Amino acid sequence: MEREKVIEVRDLVKKFGAFTANDHLSFDVYRGEIFGFLGANGAGKTTAIRILCGLSRPTSGRVMVAGIDASRRPEEIKKRIGYMSQRFSLYEDLTVRENIELYGGIYGMRMKELIHRREAMLQRLSFTSYGDTLIRSLPLGLRQKLSFATAVFHDPEIVFLDEPTSGVDPVTRRQFWEMIYETASQGITVFVTTHYMDEAEYCDRITIMNEGKIVALDTPSVLRQQYGTATVEELFVKITRPQRTMV
């Protein structure tokens, strides 16, 4: 069964002067997949994601995101993706409804449709009673869920998540992953980047970057078996540690 590719990367190279941040990366991400992107600090992870999000252009190679060529029309990509990071996603001094409105507005939704969808979303999350609460006074777990719901509010083809569940309590964390599963089952591709390997265990497939190259790509269980480790954490350390020259 041939699955539809949502991200197609072939021989992606990105150089900053003499420094090669991405060295011939090639991988595919399929529709509805939860794809984990792992790497140590400075492994070239951030550079690659910036290219995939249309924020930066590749030096060479072919990068197709949601059917759009990242070297030709990076602006178009931005309309078809969603993004959520731990640090910034919602305005603390706006209410839940105002935040969603703002977000929908940014993506050019019409007011009538926006309000309709917003209320549907609040209903689905059983958030209706929090609609006019300031983000600031929401518990951390609810904020997390809301920012994810906001990131997929405009029905993007791919949503990029940066350390989505680091530091949240185990219950909220599970509710959060359930939301991610649900989103993926609806055909939205979820692209997770994280430092935390226990987070990686939840992904369908993971790729590990080290020194600008992809050094592993498969499902967590296959990789664990292949390297004979019990967790992705051990796997990660095993793969990247000997190659790191210092620190």
Partner 1 sequence: MKAVEANSITQRFGKITAVDDITFAVSEGELFGFIGPDGAGKTTLFRIAATLIIPSGGRMTLFGLNVVSDYRELRNHIGYMPGRFSLYQDLTVEENLQFYATIFGTTIRENYHLIEPIYKQIEPFRERRAGNLSGGMKQKLALSCALIHKPRILILDEPTTGVDAVSRTEFWEMLEGLKKEGITIVVSTPYMDEALRCDRIALIQQGRLMGIDTPEAIRTSYGRKMWAVSHPDRYRLLLALREIQIVSNPEPFGEAVHITLHEGTAPEDLNRKLENTGIHGATIKETLPGIEDVFLELMRRKPEEKSL
Is residue 226 a contact point for partner 1 (CB under 8 A)? no
Q: How does strand 81-85 pair with strand 158-162?
A: parallel
The correct pick among 174, 187, 225, 226 for binding partner 1 (CB under 8 A) is: 174
Is residue 202 a contact point for partner 1 (CB under 8 A)? yes
d(Cα 116, Cα 124) in Å, to the nearest integer? 12
> Site residues for partner 1, window 133-152 (CB under 8 A)?
140
Is residue 23 a contact point for partner 1 (CB under 8 A)? no
d(Cα 219, Cα 232) in Å, to the nearest integer? 10
Collapse the DSSP code of 88 into the 3-class scheme (helix H, G, I; strand E, B; otherwise coil) and give the result.
Answer: coil
Distances from the Cα of 84 to the Cα of 11, 26, 107, 143, 225, angstroms? 27, 24, 15, 12, 32
* Min dist. Cβ of residue 173 to partner 1 (A): 8
Sorted by sequence, the CB contacts under 8 Å of residue 134 that are 6+ apart come out as: 92, 93, 94, 95
> Site residues for partner 1, window 69-108 (CB under 8 A)?
none
Is residue 237 a contact point for partner 1 (CB under 8 A)? yes
- Burial level of 188, CB count in 10 A (0-12/13-18/19+)? buried
The correct pick among 177, 215, 227, 229 for binding partner 1 (CB under 8 A) is: 177
The correct pick among 181, 187, 225, 226 for binding partner 1 (CB under 8 A) is: 181
- Size of the residue set binding partner 1 (CB under 8 A): 37
* Min dist. Cβ of residue 83 to partner 1 (A): 19
* Contacts to partner 1 by CB under 8 A: 39-42, 140, 166-172, 174, 177-178, 181-182, 184-185, 195-198, 201-202, 219-221, 231, 233, 236-237, 240-241, 244, 246-247
